Amino acid sequence: MNDNSQSNPIQVDVESFPRPEKIPIRFDETWFAYDSVPVVRDINFSIMPGEFAAILGPNGSGKTTLMKLALGLLKPSSGRVLLFGEPSDNFTDWHRIGYVPQRIQTTEYRFPASVREIVQFGAYSGFSFFRSFKHNENSRVDDAMELAGIRELAGRRVSDISVGQQQRMLIARALVRRPDLLVMDEPVAGVDAAGEDQFHSMVRRLNRDLGITIVMVSHDIGAVMREATTCACINQDIVFHGPVHQLDANALSALYGFPVDVLMHDPDHTHR
Amino acid sequence: MCLCMIPTTRIGNLMPEIFQYEFMNRAIVASVLVGVTAPAIGMFLVLRRLSLIADTLSHVAFAGVAVALITKSFTPIVAFIATATAAVSIEELRVRRLLPGDAALAVFLYGALALAVVLISASDGFNTTIFSYLFGSLLSVSMTDLWWMGILALVIVLFLFMFRFELTQITFDPDLAKTNGVRVHMLNLSLAILTAGTITVSMRVVGVLLVGALIVIPVLVSIRVVKGLTLTLIVSSALGVFVAVFGMVISFYADLAPGGSVVLIAISLLIIVEIGALIKRNFFGSSQLMQSSDHTHAHEFHAHGVNESATDDRHSHR
């Protein structure tokens, strides 16, 4: 697109511009309040197709609320959130979305489902009276479990695996859907350093090789600088939004409320 | 006595005494229906830590019984309307965050109990009918009740079969279910109404004070002994039928309150499996730990050939 536009500025490749319905997430003057206390204030930005967008912010800054608004799990107090051009609270095209929450909600310590059963939930495509998992769905489940590195956990009880393994299970569940958009809320919380590295390698591959748009809430500024293409810094309202290479000490200091220095790693030890 | 002269008596003698009474046949059919449905609904409550909703709704059902007895209305219908209204209200209060879940349960439980006590004291006080609803009665199951129970059991089994994938997803994580396209709110309301229905029919057999136990305890036993959601559901219902029928038989021969017998058998089963699990853990626990430790080293993210060994072996026995 850039080459075309530079050689002939009058000819514009209209198809290359994302139409509103193709923009995965668009926050439009979005506000949200719990019991009339604003948690998210006047958020305006879009996450474009193919982006690896990181959401940064201190604890209680509204990051998870923002993700829940994006996924229609919460309804904005005012403004709107569009998911592939549709208001997120009326969105129906759920097969395009993969979601990895911070942790599983079930509090039952003896939840009887096996890891494979939970990953299979990802293959769900709507109500069907005589639903049974078809062969191609089974192979998709196998592939996703292989990619997330949990194939050998298939028969284990969900409650008998570690927090890190539960995260991988949720990622596999999201990948079974072969989503266009993968939303992850602190997906490496509870995962050790080696597992985190492997996780980032996998997400990089999903984004670059498979073209999946990634939105990831994170506390790890280093990982964000290394892996993401764009970054939104949230502290109830937007502090910074732009390409990740423009994220500097000033923006981070404004975000966290104290002076922050950015120390660049030795490029030989980074992945990019 | 010449047997050839009285063939009907001969057949009667060969049959166990319990089947010679029509009211016991009805009570056993009712036990099977209740045994199947109560734990099946219960699985979706227990796994969401909503076990006490059954207890709350059974008290509401009791208030419904009191209203029906005073107004001389058809008891099952009045009790069902009362419990269904309460079930939907509790669900709405929870979803709209107007009251915390446990506080909403407490308000309905005490409110319903107070209403029932006031209504009963305003009429002719406690009588045999009230006692039969409180503790269950072998004699109280009529043929009309049996028809109602059969229809409701059929509706519940059909509902659970049709929406088993959706309900299990909601049970695991409602947010994940919603982003999977599951209609969470509609199904939660349906489950609440069917819970009300289950309680209404179960109270004839085990009584309102103990109906919650039949909804919860077979599920707790099942969770302990099997793995997998569908298997847990099937085993819960099978155990429900076993304890309900066995309890009925014991109460018939020993002349005991059926509700108490059913629940004590269920609790005995739970104690047995928990002790079994404790022994297994103490005697075989160390070898299991070694197995799981071996397991975790094999599970890596495989993207891009990154092969570092994951050391995330901290198990989350919450």
A272 in a structural domain: no
Q: What is the pLDDT of residues B230-254, one digit of tens each?
A: 899 999 999 999 999 999 889 888 8
pTM of structure = 0.79
Q: What is the pLDDT of residue B299?
A: 41
B151 in a structural domain: yes
Number of folded domains in chain A? 1
Q: Is B312 on the interface with A (CB under 8 A)?
A: yes
Decide if B218 contacts B202 (C-beta within 8 A): no
Decide if B195 contacts B38 (C-beta within 8 A): no
Number of folded domains in chain B? 1
A147 in a structural domain: yes
Residues of A in contact with B318 (CB under 8 A): 107, 109, 159
Decide if B82 contacts B96 (C-beta within 8 A): no
Q: Is B182 on the interface with A (CB under 8 A)?
A: yes
Q: What is the pLDDT of residue A123?
A: 87
Residue A187's domain spans which residues?
21-256
**Are B303 and A147 an interchain contact pair (Cβ–Cβ within 8 Å)?**
yes
Order of strands across the sheet that contains A181-185 = A97-100, A181-185, A213-217, A52-56, A230-235, A237-243
Phi-psi region of B127 (alpha: psi -120 to 50; beta: other; left: phi over 0): beta
Q: Which residues, at least 6 apart from A175, have a Cβ–Cβ distance to it below 8 Å? A: A98, A122, A143, A144, A147, A148, A182, A206
Q: What is the pLDDT of residue B54?
A: 87
A242 in a structural domain: yes
B256 in a structural domain: yes
Residues of B in contact with A202 (CB under 8 A): 301-304
A7 in a structural domain: no
Decide if B211 contacts B30 (C-beta within 8 A): no
Residues of B in contact with A199 (CB under 8 A): 301
Q: What is the pLDDT of residue A265?
A: 59
**Are A153 and B181 an interchain contact pair (Cβ–Cβ within 8 Å)?**
no
B152 in a structural domain: yes
| Domain CATH for B80 | 1.10.3470.10
Q: Suggest the residue from A86, A96, A106 to mutate for an interface test with chain B (most B CBs closer than 10 A).
A: A106
Neighbour count for residue A163 (Cβ, 10 Å): 16
B309 in a structural domain: no
| Domain CATH for A243 | 3.40.50.300
Q: Which residue of B has its CA nearest to A151?
A: B299
Nearest-5° Cα angle at B293, B292 to B298: 95
A271 in a structural domain: no
B252 in a structural domain: yes
Q: Looking at residue A123, what DSSP letter applies?
A: T
**Are B49 and A131 an interchain contact pair (Cβ–Cβ within 8 Å)?**
no
Q: Which residue of B has its CA nearest to A133?
A: B165
B39 in a structural domain: yes
Q: What is the pLDDT of residue A198?
A: 80
Residue B263's domain spans which residues?
18-286
> What distance in Å separates the CA atoms of residue B150 and residue B2, rounded to the nearest whole number?
42
Identity at A247, one-letter amino acid code: L
B85 in a structural domain: yes
Quick check: ipTM above 0.85?
no
Q: Which residue of B has its CA nearest to A104?
A: B173
Decide if A23 contacts A85 (C-beta within 8 A): yes
Residues of B in contact with A195 (CB under 8 A): 300-301, 310, 312
Decide if B214 contacts B54 (C-beta within 8 A): no
B294 in a structural domain: no
Q: Which residues, at least 6 apart from A47, have a Cβ–Cβ distance to it below 8 Å? A: A23, A24, A25, A26, A53, A213, A215, A230
Q: How far is CA A191 from the centre of its chain?
A: 17
Q: What is the pLDDT of residues A176-219, one digit of tens each?
A: 988 999 999 988 776 777 778 888 888 888 898 888 999 999 88
Rg (CA), chain B: 23
**Which residues in chain B land under pLDDT 50?**
1-9, 286-318
**Which residues in chain A land under pLDDT 70?**
1-21, 106-109, 129-136, 190, 261-272
Phi-psi region of A32 (alpha: psi -120 to 50; beta: other; left: phi over 0): beta
